[in-house]
Structure 1
Amino acid sequence: MADLRIEGEREPLLGDTPGSREWDILETDEHYKSRWRSIRILYLTMFLSSVGFSIVILSIWPYLQKIDQTADTRFLGWVIASYSLGQMVASPIFGLWSNYRPRKEPLVVSIFISVAANCLYAYVHIPASHNKYYMLVARGLLGIGAGNVAVVRSYTAGATSLQERTSSMANISMCQALGFILGPVFQTCFAFIGEKGVTWDVIKLRINMYTTPVLLSAFLGILNIILILAILREHRVDDSGRQCKNINFEEASTDEIEVPQGNIDQVAVVAINVLFFVALFIFAVFETIIAPLTMDMYAWTQEQAVLYNGIILAALGVEAVVIFVGVKLLSKKIGERAILLGGLIVVWVGFFILLPWGNQFPKIQWEDLHNNSIPNTTFGEIIIGLWKSPMEDDNERPTGCSIEQAWCLYTPVIHLAQFLTSVVLIGVGYPVCNLMSYTLYSKVLGPKPQGVYMGWLTASGSGARILGPMFISQVYAHWGPRWAFSLMCGIVVLTITLLGVVYRRLIALSVRYGRIQE
């Protein structure tokens, strides 16, 4: 049945050559099946974590307005950022925990926190006041629960050989991307329930279009906990695929070997953290700016922006899945470092194409003129383009580039062909940079426990998702797309330079010490 196994999940590992002492079974068939069952459970965990984040992303703003009329766009920014803040704080903690205890423990605890957060979200309408703060806490707790991403990546890195690593990491990324795609789809499916819905008086639970998605997410979280407890086993192999001794193992085995010694290249570790930060920063900037940019450049109404940009982001998710499949095949021929460099170059070209040029200018929104000052656009006001409040009538709102943004008067329009070409290129480059960064990271760290290091990597990505929207909202509002995208081009150039400097250092620990040929 070996021919039926999916690519990247190899047959039980063998030694080097027939007749040698190494020509023996390094992994039994039973161990192989148990190892991959455990890894697949973590694929599911990553998928459900992504769904839990995105399943309410389209309804947060109208729900926040409904439960607390004192909430404004500034507070919305904090609600959105609280998820990443929670994940940034929790990731190193869960990572450290997973280094010294069975990985089931941080996984179960983190998922339980997510379940509790979803339940709290479903009840934020109950308190008589300060409801918005309960939502803030709920999203923050959900982010803390999502800190288990570090554990998932650490486990997968430790349970796969170098030959299996890229494929396994690509599968994790695919599950994550699918979760982000399907979450809003699930949300849309529950829209027919309506805002009123039904109320379960005994437990004071209101089941409507806002709470049903989180209740589903909570149920799936409980199911995930059951599967982890029933199926997940502790497995750890070295870069060749031999079982290693580990404090996380439930049973000791005389066949297990000691972890090879060697110092981790800390320069490479720091460099990859920076590369991963930039990769997440790039996409955070792009998904934040897409709504206001299209409304300014093409005079789209808010309803059109939500519809068209929703389609674009969904298409990018599908594109990412295709890219992950392609990268799994391409990495075997040219290596992860070259693919990462290519991804950064593609991203740079994408932002360069977005630079305004020509003598055609966007439609000016004269009707919105109140004074000559540049508005102090907040993170929440930029994000607000992703939602449409039921109380707003788009047909009565002026469209075009607001005269309050002084740059609208002298900045050429970004043509739709430019924009769509850039979308495709950034949609290719971002998933490549994201996947290759933490795949290389896991190889640089070697077979030692990676929980803490993966925690810091996840924290750097969370920081990027916080700082990216803050950066682009201020630069775009005050100086416009020319400065915004020029600065992004500069950031990517600096990142490419950094990659060039550390290029030779981004190799697997076992390759660095000559135990395995690259």
Structure 2
Amino acid sequence: METPKEFQTDWRSIWIANIVAFIGSVQSSSLVPSVWPYLKKVDVRTTETLYGFVRGLFSLAQIIFSIISGFFSNKIENTKPCMIIGKILIVAAIFFYCLIGVYPSQYIYNFVLFEIFFGIASGTASVYRTHVAMASTEDDRTRAYGSTQLCTAIGIVVGPAIQLAFTRIAYPGFELFGGIYLNLYTAPALMAGGISIIGILLMIFLFNGKMRVQNSGRRVRPSEAKKEVSSDFDENKNQIPLKEINLNREDSYLNLQKESDTEENSEKEVPYNMIAILVLIFTKVVGELVMLNLSTIIPPYIMTAFQWSSEEAVKMQSVLMGCVGSLIILFSSAFVFLKLGTKISERFSICVGITTFLIFHLITYPWEFYGGKISYLHEKGHPPPLNLSMALTDNALQQLISDSLYPNSTIEIVGCNLQYTWCENTPQIDFPIFAVCSIISMGLGFPLLTINLDVLYSKVLGPIKQGTLQGVFIGTAQIMNIIGPMIFSKLYTAYGPKILWLIEITVCIADLLLLLIFYRKLVSWDGRKSNSKKPKTGIHLKTKS
């Protein structure tokens, strides 16, 4: 352990970790949004239920390996091996993604393997959050996490920009080798594999992943503390001239008992604030539920509601993510360069972040006053069927849908799946309203929530090796993502977006109430320790008057 004077923020290793986080952000923001359109391109009959189920496998793998990697990093007191392994596994995941187009009839198996390996890689590499927490002092913690969020946000902008450039490579594109084509769907994946190698080299040669624990305020047993004090006294007893200690005066005495009691109290372990930990974990779960809706339901929903083709979906999502990333950069920069974290408390920022998610779902809920209906499947550029009955009895339309299934077909089928009866009575929200709300809520809400939630949780844990508990924090928040995608997809296919929006609204309100009720308990470990200490009296010399 290092003393307060020795312990300083290791900015070099933090910035290397941030570069790796930037690489991961570029990979995710350029690759993940193209997965659903790619699957629909390979097979228009691909269902949201299948997509949700496989996304659940991603989350399951992420949960398991985030906890395992955190525990392993604690044991070896180093985060470097897990971060390197995570980047290597990304390359393996991309290999299976590229095989989706090589074997269209077996695309489901390769899609499953892609998501599983991607989840393992994500969970294994998640220990970089632990490294940022343990490589920074508490005073620098907000700035450190802010810099991480800033790099992630830059990646969110760069990724979609690269993806947007790749949309010029029309499907099926150019054949490379082994049946793998370079097109707007596979180009982001191949790029992600290439930059993973850069991340691996940076970590091997420049990154120091050693865990460092600050000695200040560490929790020790009273017996251990006495042993340390006794040892220090034995080493230095001959250095203290006895003549400097005047204890022979008849009118003086030492009030040693009070000093002993004070030391005993100061040595007692300050327990974890379990209420604060549980509230913060629940808040993390709520944030993941919002992300679950954004990543699993919204891509197919907006593609259906706004009648986009696969290419249009990739382009529009790239533009939206670019705008979101720009706003995240703005707020993250404020935390890094303007020290916004010193002006606004973590607790308040977390409440504001959850509030923005609540407002987003309230505004984008398909209220009846929006008017309009979601059209059923039809060929792009042609009038849609007036209702579900007409779509089901239109033989020409059924033939077009069948023809679109052939490999490399140029027929674009857009609109709502014929199995979804809710499309007839679900109002279509205006795209400008949806776009503006998405950009503001994600661009404002996520940096406020993620930066401050990570900072406050690490402060609540205090000066310990945080690998395992950080793994629990990340893993627990991902539990809903195991069964959540399947449940959300089932609810979406059966009832449409209304019930999912109501669920999000409910959990956001519940979380806000918890945050407000336990607001005073959401403080750092050092803050609780200071509040629990009694004033020290020291050695009192009482003199007769």
TM-score range, shorter chain: 0.7 to 0.9
Is 1:208 the counterpart of 2:188? The answer is no
Higher RCO, 1 vs 2 (CA within 8 Å, ≥6 residues apart): 2
CA shift digits 1:274-319 (9 cap, x unpaired): 1011012113313544455556666666665554444223212221
Shift of 1:132: 3.5
How far apart are the structure 2 equivalents of 1:476 and 1:68? 20
The letter for the 2-side match of 1:152 is Y
The equivalences for 1:17-416 within 5 A come to 26=6, 35-61=10-36, 74-101=49-76, 102-122=78-98, 130=106, 132-190=108-166, 195-200=172-177, 204=178, 206=180, 208-209=182-183, 211-233=186-208, 234=210, 236-238=212-214, 262-291=270-299, 294=302, 306-328=314-336, 329-357=339-367, 359=369, 361-363=371-373, 365=375, 367=385, 369-370=387-388, 391=409, 393-394=411-412, 404-406=420-422, 408-409=424-425, 414-415=429-430
How far apart are the structure 2 equivalents of 1:123 and 1:55? 18
Shifted more, 227-236 versus 190-199: the winner is: 190-199
Shift of 1:168: 1.1
Q: Give 3-state SS (helix, strand or coil) of 1:433's partner.
A: helix
The structure having more radius of gyration, on CA atoms, is 2
Shift of 1:495: 0.6
The letter for the 1-side match of 2:182 is N
Shifted more, 439-448 versus 296-305: the winner is: 296-305
Shift of 1:468: 5.2
How far apart are the structure 2 equivalents of 1:281 and 1:180? 20
How far apart are the structure 2 equivalents of 1:260 and 1:181? 49
For the 8 Å contact 1:158–1:449, the answer to whether it is kept is yes
Shift of 1:41: 1.1
The letter for the 1-side match of 2:409 is M
The letter for the 2-side match of 1:440 is L
Shift of 1:459: 1.9
Partner of 2:241: none
Q: Give 3-state SS (helix, strand or coil) of 2:475's partner.
A: helix
Do the aligned partners of residues 327 and 38 (structure 1) sit closer, same or farther apart at CA in structure 2, a change above 3 Å counting? closer
The letter for the 2-side match of 1:419 is F
Shift of 1:449: 1.0
For the 8 Å contact 1:160–1:237, the answer to whether it is kept is no
Match of 1:441 among 452, 457, 460: 457
Do the aligned partners of residues 107 and 295 (structure 1) sit closer, same or farther apart at CA in structure 2, a change above 3 Å counting? closer
Q: Give 3-state SS (helix, strand or coil) of 2:127's partner.
A: helix
Is 1:426 the counterpart of 2:441? The answer is yes
Shifted more, 351-360 versus 500-509: the winner is: 351-360
Do the aligned partners of residues 180 and 334 (structure 1) sit closer, same or farther apart at CA in structure 2, a change above 3 Å counting? closer
Shift of 1:42: 0.7
How far apart are the structure 2 equivalents of 1:188 and 1:271? 39
Q: Give 3-state SS (helix, strand or coil) of 2:139's partner.
A: helix
For the 8 Å contact 1:296–1:402, the answer to whether it is kept is no
How far apart are the structure 2 equivalents of 1:237 and 1:481? 47
Q: What value does the CA root-mean-square deviation take over the aligned residues?
A: 4.1
Shifted more, 261-270 versus 476-485: the winner is: 476-485
The letter for the 2-side match of 1:26 is E
Shift of 1:86: 1.9
The letter for the 1-side match of 2:92 is A
For the 8 Å contact 1:50–1:179, the answer to whether it is kept is yes
Shift of 1:158: 0.7
CA shift digits 1:160-208 (9 cap, x unpaired): 11111111112222222333333343344445566353445xxx58462
CA shift digits 1:6-57 (9 cap, x unpaired): xxxxxxx998xxxxxxxxx535xxx76xx21111111112122233334333
Count of aligned pairs:
456
TM-score (normalizing by structure 1) = 0.74
For the 8 Å contact 2:33–2:317, the answer to whether it is kept is no
Partner of 1:498: 514
Shift of 1:264: 2.2
Instruction: Please list every run of 5 or more consecutive structure 2 residues that lacks an aligned counterpart in the other structure.
Output: 219-266, 377-384, 392-406, 534-545
For the 8 Å contact 2:66–2:474, the answer to whether it is kept is yes
CA shift digits 1:120-174 (9 cap, x unpaired): 4445667797453134213311221111343101111011111111111122222
Do the aligned partners of residues 208 and 239 (structure 1) sit closer, same or farther apart at CA in structure 2, a change above 3 Å counting? farther
The letter for the 1-side match of 2:67 is P
For the 8 Å contact 1:114–1:145, the answer to whether it is kept is yes
Shifted more, 479-488 versus 425-434: the winner is: 479-488
Do the aligned partners of residues 71 and 370 (structure 1) sit closer, same or farther apart at CA in structure 2, a change above 3 Å counting? closer
Is 1:514 the counterpart of 2:490? The answer is no
For the 8 Å contact 2:55–2:485, the answer to whether it is kept is no
How far apart are the structure 1 equivalents of 2:277 and 2:453? 10
Shift of 1:99: 0.6
Shift of 1:496: 0.7
TM-score (normalizing by structure 2) = 0.71
How far apart are the structure 1 equivalents of 2:514 and 2:469? 20
How far apart are the structure 2 equivalents of 1:69 and 1:348? 33
Q: Give 3-state SS (helix, strand or coil) of 1:161's partner.
A: coil
Shifted more, 359-368 versus 444-453: the winner is: 359-368
Shifted more, 448-457 versus 474-483: the winner is: 474-483
Partner of 1:488: 504
Is 1:455 the counterpart of 2:475? The answer is no
How far apart are the structure 2 equivalents of 1:413 and 1:276? 31
Shifted more, 314-323 versus 211-220: the winner is: 211-220
How far apart are the structure 2 equivalents of 1:272 and 1:83? 23
Identical pairs, percent? 26
Partner of 2:229: none
Partner of 1:379: none
Do the aligned partners of residues 403 and 138 (structure 1) sit closer, same or farther apart at CA in structure 2, a change above 3 Å counting? closer
